[in-house]
Structure 1
Amino acid sequence: MDPGPSSASADPSPPEEEEEEEEERDSSTGSTWVVVPGSEVLGADAPKVVGWEELQQELARLWSLSAALAAARDRKAGLAARLESALEARKAVLQQDNELAEMRQRLQSHADFMGELRMQTKEVSANVEDRREQLCVKIRTLTVADKTVGAAQSKLQEPCKLLSGERGHGRLKGLERMLRMRQQYMIGQVAQIYPVRPLNEQSPIVKPGLNSSITRTGVGEAVSPNGSQNGQTPLAILGLQLSKLSIKKTSYFSDKTEIQKSATLLGYVAHVCI
């Protein structure tokens, strides 16, 4: 029975070493022991009684459980770190997805704008083609007109040369001026031969046999012998006044005095004009 105490005295050493190692491990990991009351310990009311012979096995089992718990803690910490990194990566991926969605939306709006711009460009190109065709037609028309004008100008050069020469427009102007001077001279000479004066003035020559009861104005309207109509004085040449013939149809036996008088006056006027 003696070896029992000796073996019992030798058995308690491993738990103390284990407690020291566990304290060192707890101090290295930064964890501290906390003293809790017995009421909070599970199974404190009915503690398990372990015999001395089974103490070694129970301590070994507790040691293995503590080692497994430490490994589980380490694995939990690793999993927590991996989970944190995965969450951060997931957050970054979600942010990238949002950015990609915004970029895709902007790209779609830009594509729609480019499509509308392409359609407008096609319409403008079609309008430009139509305008170009119209301008080509107008240019061809203007070219033909230019050629026609050039031909007409080339044809007008010879008449222009003729007009600018000795027998041209200048000579014609000179002849017209001489003709007007000659006509004025002839009118002056004829006016001296056949004096023209108003009827109310005294005529040097009065032909007898003329009907003096009715006189005519310069426009051929009937007036009284001593007056005028509308303030106009009747015209007389050599004492003969110009009268307007009646619209009535004259017979063969009617008086021809007015007709002869008007014919004489018209002859004087024709002489003056010619």
Structure 2
Amino acid sequence: MTDRAPRWVIVVVGVIALIWMVPIIGIVMTSIRPPEGTALGWWQFDHFDFTLDAWRKVWSKYPLAPALWVTVKTAGLATLFTMLLTPAAAYAFHFLEFRFRRLMLVIIINAFVLPQQVVIIPLFRLWRDMGLIDNILSVLIPYVGLSFAWSIYLVKNFFEDFPKELVEASKIDGCGPVDTFRFVVLPNSLSPVFAVGILQFLWTWNALLLPMLFLRSEIPLPVLLARISSSYEMNWDMRSVAAIVTATVPLLVFMIFQRQFAAGSQTRSGAKE
């Protein structure tokens, strides 16, 4: 029999969860009611009028669908490249011997404490000279490059407890560094790789600063949401719709990746595939 948590713990957790849910309920209620119905607060239910006008209007008045596609494309590619490159780099830094290995690792990890605002002006000048302003590469390259500071550190810490006997056995079997990484290390390291994917996707999906500066014609959802929020009209209902659309996809991706994360933790079995 498993020990049940004390009742007071359940009550405290329930209260905290309810507090977290209140803003979400407010956004949903604002999106399905006319603006005049929520002028005095969405919690006022004296005259509740259900309507989906905001859901229809926001798709026609603002480029919500193109912005959704741009966000999916940038966040998806940035997450994919990070998940592919990070374990390979962490494997090289941890298992391979080469010159200036520690110095390069220190330089990469130190970028973690570098504020993103510091690199904006140099990046803007670089992208302008290369003609990459209003190009997806202008945000995709920083997304992947800036993520190496924490992602390599995360996966390398996982390799600290990785069974070195497996690596040695693969060398005896005739595997080179690439085959060892592909058939031994990577299949048994899915847990941190999916953890990196979750964090990277959430960061790039909600990123605002870089796409606002570098993208012009094709903008992602956070930039569009900022533009909707900065208009002079009282469009709280359409703002709520845009916020719901912006938050739904990362929530679904998190749930999917969480299952893969749990499954990945079981692959560390010490067996080659």
> What's the TM-score bracket when you normalise by the shorter of the two chains?
under 0.3
Q: Which entry has the higher C-alpha Rg, 1 or 2? A: 1
Normalised by the length of structure 2, the TM-score is: 0.21
Question: By percentage of residues, which structure has more helix?
Answer: 2
If asked which structure has higher relative contact order (CA below 8 Å, sep 6+), I would say 2
